[in-house]
Amino acid sequence: MIDLRSDTITKPTQEMREAMANAIVGDDVFGEDPTVNKLEETAAELVGKESALFVASGTMGNQVAVLTHTERGNEVIVDTAAHIAKYEVGAPAMFAGVQLRLVDNLLLGNTIDKIKNAYREENIHFPVTRLVCLENTFNSGGGTIMPPEKMREAYQLARNLNLKLHLDGARIFNAAVACQCDVKEFTKCCDSVMFCLSKGLGAPVGSILAGDQEFIKKARKYRKAMGGGMRQAGILAAAGLVALKSIDRLAEDHSNARFLAEGLSQIKGIKVDLERVQTNMVYVEVDNAAAFVSELEKNGVKAIAVSSNAVRFVTSREVTREDIEKVIQIASRIAVTNK
């Protein structure tokens, strides 16, 4: 089975497994796990922040950030289609007690004007606007990149409005590799950033939340409250340290995604916006997404129907160029059969 549902399906490498087996561990809640400490120090330095926190997942990292930046009753500006708004179980309301100010096309449109229009001036009738959340790369946008210059403008505006800016950077290294720049070009444009170790980087578990020392000190307490005190977590952190050495290979996933997109775009009945294929995701339009995905699976390919007429493919280390060629051939046969 060729699995293109997500880059979360990556399995730990042999080097990761060996690092996990040999990890020196301690009680992380007491701050005594040397492998976790090393991962947090390495990650903070990598993204140019003072401090970092190892968390169980990207969702946990995002929600700890929302908790840390806000107070109950505050409002958070976020894209209507952002992961925080769509795929995190309503956690901002559930845990932080905040209201999401959902803004259509915040990430792909004129972000500056969108933030200005969503921001609420002081008024007894309004919640206090406290936080802006951006997402880079943008999952629902097709894995698209918000360029560093656009992020800088948004960050400056947030500071002018006395807002904090959190970056859901689950795949921020995909953005950096695609733009051939240091990841700090993105992460210097936010107060906090979360990135995943368990997607394209290939670790089995975990994400990183990074920010200044005071932010991480507060975040650490919220992580504990959310059940994230994982004790001898160095066994997991060891794989994360190995994962951070494999950032450059994300370019291979991008190349495979482009090859897949171009191949699928030549098939009648499948529509691909090639301009949006910027990293490791390919979104396609078909007449019946559920039927298309079902036929793919019958032929040994897994993908996800994200709407009635849209299907998502995601490349990762588990998928080779040969696999991609097979997928294109299978999709072509399905299209011919369904005419």
User: Does the 249-337 domain belong in CATH 3.40.50.20?
Assistant: no
The pTM assigned to this predicted structure is: 0.96
What pLDDT sits at residue 335?
73
Work out the average pLDDT over 9-24.
98
- N residues, the chain: 339
pLDDT in tens, 200-249: 999 999 999 999 999 999 999 999 999 999 999 999 999 999 999 999 99
Whether residue 336 is predicted with pLDDT greater than 90 in this model: the reply is no
Domain boundary assignment for the chain: 12-245, 249-337
For 63, residues 6+ apart whose C-beta sits below 8 A from its C-beta are 88, 91, 92, 95, 96, 226
pLDDT in tens, 35-57: 999 999 999 999 999 999 999 99
Whether residue 256 is predicted with pLDDT greater than 60 in this model: the reply is yes
The matching CATH number, chosen from 3.20.20.70, 3.40.640.10, 3.90.420.10, 3.50.50.60, for 12-245 is 3.40.640.10
pLDDT in tens, 112-165: 999 999 999 999 999 999 999 999 999 999 999 999 999 999 999 999 999 999
- List strand residue ranges (DSSP E) for the chain, in order: 2-3, 51-55, 75-79, 99-103, 129-135, 164-168, 192-196, 207-211, 271-272, 281-285, 301-302, 304-305, 310-314
